[in-house]
Structure 1
């Protein structure tokens, strides 16, 4: 009997989130010739929504991508960002809401903290799209902001220095420079689609990950639209064809033989986190049919069953449990 198509229940792909969303939007603005400013957090103290290295994009069309607060600080940042873009100059901005006067005057925004920002006019950074292309390929992005208007941007061993007009910081204890690193977006490769896929892949994308779905079964082919890459390859071919190293691999075919094939391929792949969907007994059955060298190579990095125990059941709960475990792993939070 022919199996029904699942294309009708696959939602459209969500836009990416995190640093990936901001940097993707920054390149798009530069290519469209829209005056855009990258607001980069240099320092924080007290209670703040974000930490140093956070960023948001403000462009001349009134578009904002990324958040530096719960929405209360952005209008003033947008105004200053527009001025920086028009003048093609580096600007510094401090927002301080730590004091009781804000509470008494009724102007408190809810957080008692201080943000110090650099506002970078992207039109003055000619190689910006090339830098972000390297970042997408797995290189860390290094940004050094100098108080005197110099701006060093590096990916891998390549550094460019820009010299911009600058407005000096309004605060008196500013250092001569700030150095910030933006790690590459995490890369997750998923072997096998299933009922969890329409929830898991958009969730990972919204968290800023780059996703690859390896799925050759026609029944699940529509799920490829939810991933950044959907190669029609075997697991071994997909791993060899990767242009950058994956941070996470998930094996979730709901098919014993296809899972065995994927695990066998992953045994020799340098991926630090391998998640296997299904109960412990299924993992043990798969290990019985894998060669001993493959078992030994997988065991120290295999998470089975993958996902945190959050309660609930069904594909939505399973997808949430996997995304939560990956969020914890990718941010270095101890189990």
Structure 2
């Protein structure tokens, strides 16, 4: 029986309604989002930035974590073994509005045997930046959310340059001297904009897929007009009740990925037709190959030609399992691989 042919009901399904509400983001996005909240609240907070690493470490250069005066932490620089000391130093840096440089070196046998390395043999060099001293920080994070790369240059003498797009600012802070003798004069780091995923159509996979993508750091737009699935909008960053053509026309930034997953033939056809003219490099279609073939039979030839080189159908990796949870996991895994350059 094809459930997509049943008429929509006004009430949102329990699977959506029970999980609706703000969902946390992950990765650099989670830390940057939290830093804006802390700055707007006037909460003393410190941004911990990994400047460089060597050996086996939990994170690489560019990793972020935020520590505030209430003891809250967003982001991880280790599996939990290093954070208490980082938090202590971060609180002091925020209080003094002074940059503190930390080197955490657990490459040697005595660290391993004492338990401080907890199995890791690596070195982190970290800058602790008091957030209150970065006066235009929120504007730069807003530009990053809108699709600009965020660039940060930390100088050994305490100068901090922050830039997005054509906007740049320099802040001069007092700074502790880096505790390692071979410290360079400055470190330059760049965070690309968070991936943007536009999803056409909600369904049984939505309560699992959208939070998973947000937890991996993506920005989610859900395009859904059916009253039955209206509650799913709470799981996305943006949820316009528009046609696919309208939603693509009002987008404030270019999307990296589009997913078509209405479980409804006509709505999928409408979305694919609109996406044929959109400059989105990855278009994923939910459903078996037969469904794709049926959809292609009713699409114009120019739309088929425009879609075929970038269409992934059926979307998702073959991980095994069945049901909406397994389907959501398979799609999230494929997008993670695609967005982070591991398709080979």
Contact 2:15–2:204 (CA<8 Å) still a contact in 1?
Answer: no
Which of 263, 284, 287 lines up with 1:254 in the alignment? 263
Residue 203 (structure 1) aligns with: 212
- Secondary structure of 1:92 counterpart: strand
- Whether 1:8 aligns to 2:17 is no
- Whether 1:274 aligns to 2:279 is no
Deviation digits for residues 43-77 of structure 1 (CA, Å, limit 9, x no counterpart): 01111100000000001111100000000000000
- Mapped to 1, the partners of 2:216 and 2:319 lie a distance apart of 19
- Mapped to 2, the partners of 1:312 and 1:107 lie a distance apart of 40
Residue 126 (structure 1) aligns with: 135
- Secondary structure of 1:233 counterpart: coil
- Secondary structure of 2:202 counterpart: coil
- Whether 1:31 aligns to 2:37 is no
Across the aligned residues of Structure 1 and Structure 2, the Cα RMSD in angstroms comes to 1.2
Return the offset for 1:106: 4.2
- Residue 104 and residue 193 in structure 1: after superposition, are their counterparts in 2 closer, same or farther (change >3 A)? closer
Return the offset for 1:108: 3.2
Contact 2:154–2:160 (CA<8 Å) still a contact in 1?
Answer: yes
- Mapped to 2, the partners of 1:7 and 1:67 lie a distance apart of 35
Q: Which sits farther off after the overlay, 96-105 or 41-50?
A: 96-105
- Whether 1:116 aligns to 2:122 is no
Residue 96 (structure 2) aligns with: 87
- Residue 107 and residue 126 in structure 1: after superposition, are their counterparts in 2 closer, same or farther (change >3 A)? closer
Taking structure 1 as the reference length, the TM-score comes to 0.98
Return the offset for 1:136: 0.7
Contact 2:10–2:227 (CA<8 Å) still a contact in 1?
Answer: no
- Mapped to 2, the partners of 1:190 and 1:51 lie a distance apart of 31
- Whether 1:177 aligns to 2:186 is yes
Which of 74, 80, 83 lines up with 2:83 in the alignment? 74
Deviation digits for residues 226-258 of structure 1 (CA, Å, limit 9, x no counterpart): 111110100000000111111100000111111
Deviation digits for residues 152-191 of structure 1 (CA, Å, limit 9, x no counterpart): 1000011101111011100011111110001111110000
Contact 2:44–2:131 (CA<8 Å) still a contact in 1?
Answer: yes
- Mapped to 2, the partners of 1:238 and 1:226 lie a distance apart of 17
Q: Which ranges in structure 2 are unaligned for 5 or more consecutive residues?
A: 1-6
Taking structure 2 as the reference length, the TM-score comes to 0.95
Contact 2:284–2:311 (CA<8 Å) still a contact in 1?
Answer: yes
- Mapped to 2, the partners of 1:285 and 1:95 lie a distance apart of 58
* 1:137-156 alignment, distance < 5 Å: 137-156=146-165
Which of 310, 330, 341 lines up with 1:321 in the alignment? 330
Contact 2:57–2:124 (CA<8 Å) still a contact in 1?
Answer: yes
Return the offset for 1:18: 1.0
Number of residue pairs the alignment of both structures matches: 335
Q: Which ranges in structure 1 are unaligned for 5 or more consecutive residues?
A: none
